[in-house]
Structure 1
Amino acid sequence: MNSLQKLQVFLNNHQIGKVVDFNLSTDKLLSFDFTSSNIELTPEILADTTLFSLWVDEKLAKNNAKYGIGGYNEHRTIYSRSTHFDTVEEPRRLHLGIDIWAPAETPIYNFYDAKVHSFHFNDNFGDYGATIILQYQLDDLILYALYGHLSLASLTGLQEGEFIPKGKQFASFGIPAENGYWPPHLHFQLMFDMEGFKGDYPGVCQFSKRNVYLSNCPDPALILQHTFTSALP
């Protein structure tokens, strides 16, 4: 079996915990589209984190949604707001994780027993800001999960190799000054191979490298479906 098949088998045979709080009977998800088809997001809104945050908040309120969600394998125009995603040969625009949009300080929980692989404050405009990567041993499969755009307090006292039990709240959503200057949200991404990275891993890739990155970064919905069940779009 390849890594994806091993992951699917493990998830089919083990109970996985939540990543954020969600009550299926009362809470609602709103699917966000950050491709070029979303003409509401003007360059003026994207250039101003406050305006962008207001747009997110208004969308959630109007739809009575607790969270906005989406983004895996999405070719996004919103990354034009930051030179962090631009390269000489081809800009990075393909999103490799799922974003969960909600207010700052929203709690984040560990979905399965893990240890801290690494963490870092990636303090560039448009970057992850405070970031934690956890390492999971799922039978004979090693899986990594990147949690980006966290509060700086989430990094306080953390140590590499530290055990984080299933169900523990270990982080929270950060404010823009701590999360790379984005509206508050969680970037949740899975990786089979860290490729030597520590405290960081590309969350957005060049479209020409789509297949390479997607083979290493499976759909986080495999994990999040245990939080949101049938509410996932």
Structure 2
Amino acid sequence: MKTFENVIRNNASLLGNVIDFNKNFDKLLPLDFTKRNTELTDKILGNTVLFSTWIDEKLNDVEARYGIGGYDEHRTIYSRSSHFNTIEEPRRLHLGVDVWGPATTPIYNFYDAVVHSFANNNNFGDYGATIILSYEIDGLKFNVLYGHLSLAYLDDLHEGKFIAAGKKFAELGVMEENGYWPPHLHFQVINDMEGFKGDYPGVCKFSEREKYLANCPDPNLILKYSFY
């Protein structure tokens, strides 16, 4: 049986970059958004400008081009938005990888794909401009959600549109377009879209961790060939 991990590893040489990065001289900074990160106070999290400044300073301090991380991470930062709250249990477990960098950073398609769907999820704390692409590699079909994008890149899309490997198809959005977050890319693999269009949970309840991680395998299997 072909698994996502096996297919991606076996076809690694065919996968392009998602964001410009040269492993020979560019640096990445892993960012921790769990309760261990005591620097992120409620004051910072409650103000997107302050939150953005905090990230920029962290990257500048170590001369990193991007911040990265977050898959299967139980994050306290989602307390900043009621979008992640439910009556019985808040959603806190992150299902994608985030790449933090400047607004207008280009986003490229890593492999031939077609547009599954797209939307402007404009709740506070949501994805903002979102594009979901469908892939088939070595007979394995899956989808990737690209969240927190520039709104302008939704204009010329339609479901089923072909997006060639290597094509720039989006940019990171400013906070007014990306759900009021510091600029970053949410990159999430989704096997079964479960009927969703233009959206899919990027954060789940911890009690549903096993279910969601089975449907959303580790995106680092794709990104590490671009970033490490």
Query: TM-score, normalized by length of structure 1?
Result: 0.95
Alignment correspondent of 1:67: 66
Distance 1:21 1:8 in 2: 25
Q: Which amino acid aligns with 1:23?
A: N
Distance 1:34 1:139 in 2: 35
Alignment correspondent of 1:12: 10
Q: Secondary structure at the residue paired with 1:92?
A: coil
Structure 1 position 122, deviation (Å): 0.1
Kept in 1: contact 2:7–2:137 (CA 8 A): no
Structure 1 position 2, deviation (Å): 5.3
Q: Secondary structure at the residue paired with 1:149?
A: strand
Q: Which amino acid aligns with 1:134?
A: L
Q: Which amino acid aligns with 1:69?
A: I
- State the 4+ residue runs in structure 1 displaced beyond 2 angstroms: none
Q: Secondary structure at the residue paired with 1:56?
A: helix
Alpha-carbon displacement from aligned partner over 1:56-77 (angstroms, at most 9, x marks no partner): 1110111100000000000000
Distance 1:99 1:154 in 2: 19
Distance 1:142 1:15 in 2: 16
Q: Secondary structure at the residue paired with 1:39?
A: coil
Q: Secondary structure at the residue paired with 2:111?
A: coil
- Corresponding position: 1:199 with 2:198: yes
Structure 1 position 9, deviation (Å): 2.8
Q: Which amino acid aligns with 2:108?
A: Y
Structure 1 position 95, deviation (Å): 0.1
Distance 2:153 2:183 in 1: 14
Distance 1:8 1:17 in 2: 17
Alignment correspondent of 2:169: 170
Query: TM-score, normalized by length of structure 2?
Result: 0.97
Alignment correspondent of 1:22: 21
Kept in 2: contact 1:10–1:139 (CA 8 A): no
Distance 1:224 1:37 in 2: 25
Q: How does 1:138-153 map to 2 (within 5 A)?
A: 138-153=137-152
Kept in 1: contact 2:2–2:140 (CA 8 A): no
Distance 1:56 1:162 in 2: 35
Structure 1 position 8, deviation (Å): 1.8
Kept in 2: contact 1:3–1:192 (CA 8 A): no
Distance 2:222 2:169 in 1: 17
Gaps of 5+ in 2: none
Q: How does 1:40-119 map to 2 (within 5 A)?
A: 40-119=39-118
Alpha-carbon displacement from aligned partner over 1:152-203 (angstroms, at most 9, x marks no partner): 0111111110000000000000000000000000000001100000000000
Alignment correspondent of 1:32: 31
Gaps of 5+ in 1: none
Alpha-carbon displacement from aligned partner over 1:25-48 (angstroms, at most 9, x marks no partner): 220000000000000000000000
Distance 2:80 2:55 in 1: 16
Distance 1:57 1:84 in 2: 25
Alignment correspondent of 2:160: 161
Q: Secondary structure at the residue paired with 1:58?
A: helix
Structure 1 position 12, deviation (Å): 1.1
- Over the aligned positions, Cα root-mean-square deviation in angstroms equals 1.0
State the identity %.
66
Kept in 2: contact 1:18–1:227 (CA 8 A): yes
Distance 1:110 1:198 in 2: 19
Distance 1:168 1:115 in 2: 12
Alpha-carbon displacement from aligned partner over 1:109-134 (angstroms, at most 9, x marks no partner): 00000000000000000000000000
Structure 1 position 138, deviation (Å): 1.5
Alignment correspondent of 1:214: 213
Kept in 1: contact 2:130–2:149 (CA 8 A): yes
